[in-house]
Structure 1
């Protein structure tokens, strides 16, 4: 049974428009707006746009144009944004890279992308040094330093010196690549996800419906290489709002900025919400200007959603989706407080279905893999048609859907409930056990601050569930007591065999628990 939501096609002013043109319109409408703030630095459109134009013109002067790629590996900064947006103006594809990747992984990504320039900050310099000069596509002067100097590095200001500040007009097409984002690597070797100009244009249209307008003030506290960040940041700029960028997230800094800048919107990941709400002085901060708070990248616990809508002004919307696109749901927690265990209904223009292992569509209430299609879908995995093909499920109508790798079910009202990653499902004694079911139950206990459930080897059952728990501050609950409590609330096949307490759970930079890392010690010698 499919779940979908109709949407207007948006062929008027919200049809495809090159992102650079959207910026020019926003700048012309309010040239003295302090459009971006990062740390102590502030730029109005009249200061910011000429710098973006300089980057675009310099890239064009170097012979780079539509289809070419440039990579950025740097801390969040205004200069990072200048390069990102200038590359887009020139019709290039931007490749934002994660500083959490290893030097070896970064070398693979830069080679794979074919990037012809690499922009770097001092914080990430050491990750590039081992292979700098050994990538044929990057010329000797193609390693550009934002905030440091050294042999073999071209200074950023020197790089753009002399370039025209006039706008550069390029005939960009909807199918052109906008950015190439490498997967977080939680499941192995990162894959390059190509998002098109059209896909990003649709993101702008969708966020307009979430209240992103010329009056929006969006606080950006996640890294600029993350799709989580870009889906909120880019629409804000395009629609004439302001962005306040945190070079590095910290709870108190976030709260101070939110109050001082009268922030209206923020896209956060679950671990950030958890830490912000736990701040002892959270309730003392003036957050009344918030209109919408968004959460994505990992499931947000039911009790955290409840805490948000109780204590934090403004709407709370959880978004479930893929960087690859096609699949998207949204849950307005404030509107549907009785559906907090779900991730909401299909987003606008999204067709969602659930299929079994044979690719047969299932009925409402049945558990299977979530698949979806929409007007915002990736072009494919860069240079990997085989992986792109593996991602696709074709419906009986012959339409291409993206497979999520997530297991879930729809309730009678069309709300989607996530259960587990398909590959993370625990099979114990022939029964399918979904870690999310156990995690949700454990998270309801006041002594549990964080939890992840994994399958570990069992001579009797093949696999058996292990719960890794971070206790709430001040809690001294024992393993046996917590295990008895949760098992009394679970089905016989779901019961937890063991509980281990941890100080923290390993997460990637967008808040996803690294379950592969958690499982490894238990399986490496099996």
Structure 2
């Protein structure tokens, strides 16, 4: 069996992982945050002190504990502390509005909340909406009646005697809620380990990571992609540079300063890096791998990134419900002109894929249908939502809601969200095809394609476009450009110019918000 270079096939929980590294390499560096280094031995002891404080606060196995804060080394220490007492960490998306966070706090039944100073005002609102919330602890100085974490923590740095199983819940991450209220995805300890144990596979060489590497954790820990790279680093026992939030300028500084070898970025973040003139002269020589995902990567942007960053790229496809990543497009397939640049990739060795039609029947190879995923990374359930769980997790397969197909080599191609498909004059049109066609235009910086109502055709294809500074393309020019690349019936009939596309914290475009002005007065909502 092979793993991502950890020789840790027996490690299947957060607690086993930290105990392994604290025992084998206690003085090796685990995290770097704002210049502060923490070894694996220190990480173990600090998280033990936090764990004992949680126990003293009557936080029990299965209790939900929220964290409303930006990335930090303390965030990870608290994550491990919760695991050591069997509590479940609820990472709160600090970019959400107070009303949205209040919904999550109430829905999760959290009993304790850790909060960063910049979110004190929000936490006051959230606390009023969470009837089970008993304790709030400041990650900075004391605030009103909330103690500072330095005063709250225990002096006891011994591991609490609490039995925790790989099958126990460890994290509860809330879906992005692009179609309504977010759902709490319950992930067990084992989902962060079991998928990455497999027989040797040369296509998985990008996942071989050793203790000498340095990972840059730039995506938020409340997102499965951000916490996913964190565990890639921790499984290997290497160093992780943590930033509070992504900054393209900081990215340019930190990669050469710490000789970062790998990172994970969403396409929108990659785009902001490449827009900086300094990106062309930054020393990227240490960078071995950029992992990307969570949103579609336009081919033109990917090719530019390959040219400037001069390192390997791997795309990961998945969702919160499968702990982030179950399909990969390896570096070998990142070749200009290759049709596989538009693929999501092939399943990692522990994953199985099925494609079904609307009647639940398997489609033929090459036909588009809904993508179903079976993986040891699958969620346990949606928190307190048996109906949604039953609809999504069926006979061991997660119904993704994504439309796609597999080619003869098993490569998966994502067409779009099933619900985002546009039906115009009886023809099925997948927005991503149109978006890829338009993105190659030199004047376009960002684009999203939606369906808008039309009495004759049912829906028309509309492209919402952000143009580069100083550029003034016309609607007819962009439509003609698309017609030169894709079938006429797929091309946009309307171009809507805007300064910025709405995105959630994961970098995904909120097409619901783009569609709303066109559909809100109609009975049928897309």
Query: Shared topology, TM-score over 0.5?
Result: yes
Which secondary structure does the structure 1 equivalent of 2:377 belong to?
coil
Separation of aligned partners in 1, 2:373 and 2:354: 6
- What is the deviation of 1:453? 0.2
The aligned runs of 1:133-282 (5 Å cut-off) are 135-139=130-134, 142-160=135-153, 162-202=154-194, 205=197, 210-282=207-279
Moved more, 346-355 or 187-196: 346-355
Question: Is the alpha carbon distance of 1:58 and 1:209 closer, same or farther for their aligned partners in structure 2, counting shifts above 3 Å?
Answer: farther
What whole-Å deviation, never above 9, does each CA across 1:470-513 have from its counterpart, x for those lacking one? 11344322221111111233223212111122222111111100
Separation of aligned partners in 2, 1:45 and 1:330: 30
Separation of aligned partners in 1, 2:332 and 2:468: 26
Which residue, 479, 489, 494 being the options, matches 1:493? Answer: 489
- What is the deviation of 1:12? 7.8
Moved more, 282-291 or 174-183: 282-291
What whole-Å deviation, never above 9, does each CA across 1:283-339 have from its counterpart, x for those lacking one? 211111122210011111112222233332332000010110187211124444211
1:95/1:179 contact within 8 Å kept: yes
Partner of 2:101: 106
Separation of aligned partners in 2, 1:244 and 1:261: 8
What whole-Å deviation, never above 9, does each CA across 1:443-466 have from its counterpart, x for those lacking one? 122222211000111121111011
Separation of aligned partners in 1, 2:71 and 2:147: 19
The aligned runs of 1:270-349 (5 Å cut-off) are 270-325=267-322, 328-337=326-335, 338=338, 339-349=340-350
Separation of aligned partners in 2, 1:253 and 1:71: 28
Which secondary structure does the structure 2 equivalent of 1:281 belong to?
helix
2:121 corresponds to 1:126: yes
- What is the deviation of 1:7? 8.4
2:68/2:116 contact within 8 Å kept: yes
Partner of 2:453: 457
The aligned runs of 1:424-439 (5 Å cut-off) are 424-439=420-435
Unaligned runs of 5+ in 2: 199-203
- What is the deviation of 1:9? 13
1:203/1:231 contact within 8 Å kept: no
Question: Is the alpha carbon distance of 1:523 and 1:133 closer, same or farther for their aligned partners in structure 2, counting shifts above 3 Å?
Answer: closer
Moved more, 455-464 or 331-340: 331-340
Which secondary structure does the structure 2 equivalent of 1:224 belong to?
coil
Separation of aligned partners in 1, 2:506 and 2:30: 25
Unaligned runs of 5+ in 1: 1-5, 394-398
2:380 corresponds to 1:379: yes
Separation of aligned partners in 1, 2:126 and 2:228: 31
1:27/1:240 contact within 8 Å kept: no
2:45 corresponds to 1:58: no
Separation of aligned partners in 1, 2:393 and 2:58: 36
Separation of aligned partners in 1, 2:510 and 2:129: 32
1:26/1:239 contact within 8 Å kept: no
1:34/1:44 contact within 8 Å kept: yes
Moved more, 56-65 or 345-354: 56-65
Separation of aligned partners in 1, 2:129 and 2:496: 45
Which secondary structure does the structure 1 equivalent of 2:277 belong to?
coil
Separation of aligned partners in 2, 1:519 and 1:414: 34
Which secondary structure does the structure 2 equivalent of 1:324 belong to?
helix
1:333/1:340 contact within 8 Å kept: no
Partner of 2:201: none
Question: Is the alpha carbon distance of 1:134 and 1:184 closer, same or farther for their aligned partners in structure 2, counting shifts above 3 Å?
Answer: closer
1:293/1:317 contact within 8 Å kept: yes
Which secondary structure does the structure 2 equivalent of 1:272 belong to?
helix
What whole-Å deviation, never above 9, does each CA across 1:111-159 have from its counterpart, x for those lacking one? 22121101111222222212425533222xx011112433231221121
2:70 corresponds to 1:75: yes
Separation of aligned partners in 1, 2:374 and 2:195: 14
1:35/1:241 contact within 8 Å kept: yes
1:19/1:238 contact within 8 Å kept: no
Question: Is the alpha carbon distance of 1:157 and 1:205 closer, same or farther for their aligned partners in structure 2, counting shifts above 3 Å?
Answer: farther
Which residue, 32, 37, 50 being the options, matches 1:42? Answer: 37
Question: Is the alpha carbon distance of 1:61 and 1:417 closer, same or farther for their aligned partners in structure 2, counting shifts above 3 Å?
Answer: same
- What is the deviation of 1:272? 0.9
Separation of aligned partners in 1, 2:360 and 2:269: 37
Partner of 2:465: 469
- What is the deviation of 1:168? 3.0
Separation of aligned partners in 2, 1:434 and 1:204: 32
- What is the deviation of 1:22? 1.5
- Work out the number of aligned pairs and report it: 513
What whole-Å deviation, never above 9, does each CA across 1:389-430 have from its counterpart, x for those lacking one? 11134xxxxx42111111111222221111111111111122
Question: Is the alpha carbon distance of 1:8 and 1:79 closer, same or farther for their aligned partners in structure 2, counting shifts above 3 Å?
Answer: closer
2:12/2:194 contact within 8 Å kept: no
Question: Is the alpha carbon distance of 1:69 and 1:423 closer, same or farther for their aligned partners in structure 2, counting shifts above 3 Å?
Answer: same
- What is the deviation of 1:8? 8.8
Which secondary structure does the structure 1 equivalent of 2:193 belong to?
helix
2:6/2:237 contact within 8 Å kept: no
- What is the deviation of 1:169? 4.5
Question: Is the alpha carbon distance of 1:13 and 1:80 closer, same or farther for their aligned partners in structure 2, counting shifts above 3 Å?
Answer: closer
Separation of aligned partners in 1, 2:7 and 2:250: 40
Separation of aligned partners in 1, 2:500 and 2:367: 34
